[in-house]
Structure 1
C-alpha cells in the first residue's frame, strides 16, 4: 500500500526531492537546447521531442537521452 508523504522516512523524502530536482534541471536544459536548434540539427521530430520532454516523467532519463542521442553534431565553423 502506498505511504503518505508524511509517513516516508526523511532519507526517502530527500531522495525523491533530489531526483525531481535533477529531472527538472535536465528537462529545462533539454527543452531550451531543443528550441535553440534548427530541425536539421535534431535526430527525429522537434515536435515529438518537445511533447515528450514536456509530458513524460522519466526521472531524468528522457532528457538525458535527448541530450546524448537526440542532437546531431553541428559542423565546425571557420576558425
Structure 2
C-alpha cells in the first residue's frame, strides 16, 4: 500500500473501497446504457461519450444528464 493509505483507519479504507466500487459501477452502467441505446437517442457521437464516461463521477453523470435525448 502507498504511504497515503497507511495512515488511514480501517473504516476510512473501507469507505474509500466502497466509493471506488460505486464509481466503477456508475461508469459501467453508463457504458452499458451507451452500448444498448439507439444512436438516434444519444446526443452527439457515441464514440465521443466513451472518453467522457471515463472521467470519475462527472463523466457518467454528464452522460445521463446531457447525453440522452428525452
State whether TM-score is above 0.5.
yes
- Aligned counterpart, 2:39: 39
**Tell me, what secondary structure is at the counterpart of 2:69?**
coil
Task: Count matched residues.
Answer: 69
Candidates 36, 46, 62, aligned match of 1:65 = 62
- Deviation >3 Å, runs of 4+: none
> What value does the CA root-mean-square deviation take over the aligned residues?
1.9
What TM-score do you get using the length of structure 2 for normalisation?
A: 0.78
Moved more, 16-25 or 4-13: 4-13
Moved more, 19-28 or 8-17: 8-17
- Aligned counterpart, 2:30: 30
Larger Rg over CA atoms = 1
User: In proportion to residue count, which structure has more helix?
Assistant: 2
Unaligned stretches of 5+ residues in structure 1: 74-79
1:11 aligns with 2:8: no
Which gives a bigger RCO, structure 1 or 2 (Cα 8 Å, sep 6+)?
1
| Cα offsets for 1:29-59 (capped at 9, x unmatched) | 1001001112211112210111222x43x1x
Q: Partners of 2:47 and 2:28 in 1: how far apart?
A: 16
